[in-house]
Amino acid sequence: MIMTSADGSELETGISGYEFPDNTGKEHDLNRLNVHGRVKSARLCWEFCGPWLLTWEIVSLAKWLKAVAEDGASVKTLRFTEPCLRCRLARKSGNLATVKVCFSHEAKPSRMEGNNVWLALEVTDDELIRASASLLSELSRFPVRSAGQLSGPQPLS
């Protein structure tokens, strides 16, 4: 997913894989995804990578982006299980939305002490729709897994 703001700021994100690809553990652990990204703004440029989103949180993010494009979204702030990332709708006017993304803990630049880093992206509704579709397309490679599933070949009876 890539979103580019009118001022040239850019957020690029993708899914690297499950944190625990062996499909063992509790339901949250089974569905925790490694996300990577690159952030570019007038002040800062950095990359991040970590196990910060669950499969269903990617779905929630995609739905939220689409809702922002369609009607401004009833939920203004989207928070996730891990506090490293969150999104907020700052403004919606016509076919433009200002979405702010907060980077904290391990997701913010390593040289930044203390405060969270916010990236404001002014994007069109079409760009939000494309970002939503891109997330869902990428997520299709990483379905929700349950603790009862076996990984790899199943034993013969």
pLDDT in tens, 24-81: 778 889 999 999 999 999 989 999 999 999 999 999 999 999 999 998 778 899 999 9
Query: Does residue 144 have a pLDDT over 70?
Result: yes
What are the boundaries of each domain within the chain? 2-139
| Confidence at 10, pLDDT banded by 50, 70, 90 | very high
CATH topology for 2-139 is Transcriptional Co-activator pc4; Chain A (2.30.31)
Residues 86-97: tens digit of each pLDDT: 999 999 999 999
Please, are residues 18 and 40 in contact by the beta-carbon 8 Å criterion?
A: no
Give the global pTM.
0.89
Distances (CA, A) of 59 to 53, 100, 105, 135, 139: 10, 18, 23, 8, 8
Both tokens assigned to 84: 């490293």
Backbone angles phi, psi at 45, to 5 degrees: -145, 125
